[in-house]
Amino acid sequence: MIRIVGLEKSFKKLEVLKGVHFEIKPGTITAIIGPNGSGKSTIIKTILGLVKPDKGEIFVKEQKLNGGSSYKKAIGYMPQSARFPENLKLDELIGMIKDLRHNPADCDEELFTQFELEKEFLKPVRTLSGGTRQKVNAYIAFMFNPDILILDEPTAGLDPISSSFLKDKILQEKENGKTIILTSHIMSELEELSEKIVFLLDGKICFEGSADLLRINTGEDKLERSIAQIMKGHA
Ligand code: ADP
Ligand code: MG
């Protein structure tokens, strides 16, 4: 579904990605994990065409990305920190986004209901709390029923109940055949979601495989401890 080959990216002298390869199979959940600043969001932004890599190639549905944008219709993106037009009221923001897609009749409203966003409908976006913004961000990513969901730190800033709604939603969409990529710097956060883990450290992938395999490789029970083990090995 998505194939990343030899991705390199530097910001001035800072080498963030130093040759990243991995593949994402259709209908799976892949978790990119790694410490803060390891380049998770940079990988995601290159897939979305928001960051231009220095080297390497990305294929989405066997099509090489070459600056075109038609593939983006298949993708729902939840950025790590969403920027919205701050002066709009929430209902105006949502109306505007639906307008851009010519108001499809089959929008997914499940998260809107579960997150009780109607309570916030008439507030200007700038007055929404961090958690509410994150709920809006999640709701918009799922809204148009995309084949591919790219979620950058999706549960960050959510309360436990909302976080659990979102995780259920992610699992349910996987059951519906969606391909999901998510990131986190908190290992335990994703334990129940991660089918496949890509662990990014020092600009390279130091582990790619199932969470179970990671535990076996490092002889540790808990994912978090397994990762700490790898990081110690690198230090
Ligand atoms: P992560 O998502 O894993 O926390 P990021 O991909 O956001 O990491 O960032 C990786 C590194 O690249 C960080 O040191 C960050 O400061 C730097 N970085 C990211 N984007 C830019 C940019 N546009 N300009 C300069 N440095 C950047
Ligand atoms: Mg990030």
Better pLDDT: 36 or 190? 36
pLDDT band at 195 (very low <50, low <70, confident <90, very high): confident
Q: Using alpha carbons only, what angle is made at residue 130 by residues 129 and 133, rounded to the nearest 5 degrees?
A: 85
Q: Give the number of whichever ligand sits closest to the CA of residue 79.
A: 2
pLDDT band at 235 (very low <50, low <70, confident <90, very high): low
Q: Closest Cα to residue 117, out of 98, 102, 104, 135?
A: 135
SS3 state at 71: helix
Tell me if 42 CB under 6 Å of ligand 1: yes
Closest residue CA from atom 7 of ligand 1:
41
d(CA 227, CA 214): 8
Tell me if 52 CB under 6 Å of ligand 1: no
For 2-234, give the CATH class.
alpha beta
d(CA 186, CA 184): 5
117-148 residue pLDDT tens: 999 999 999 999 999 999 999 999 999 999 99
182-188 average pLDDT score = 84
Q: Residue ranges per domain, the chain?
A: 2-234
Tell me if 39 CB under 6 Å of ligand 1: yes
Phi and psi for 71 in degrees, rounded to 5? -65, -20
164-184 residue pLDDT tens: 999 999 999 999 999 999 999
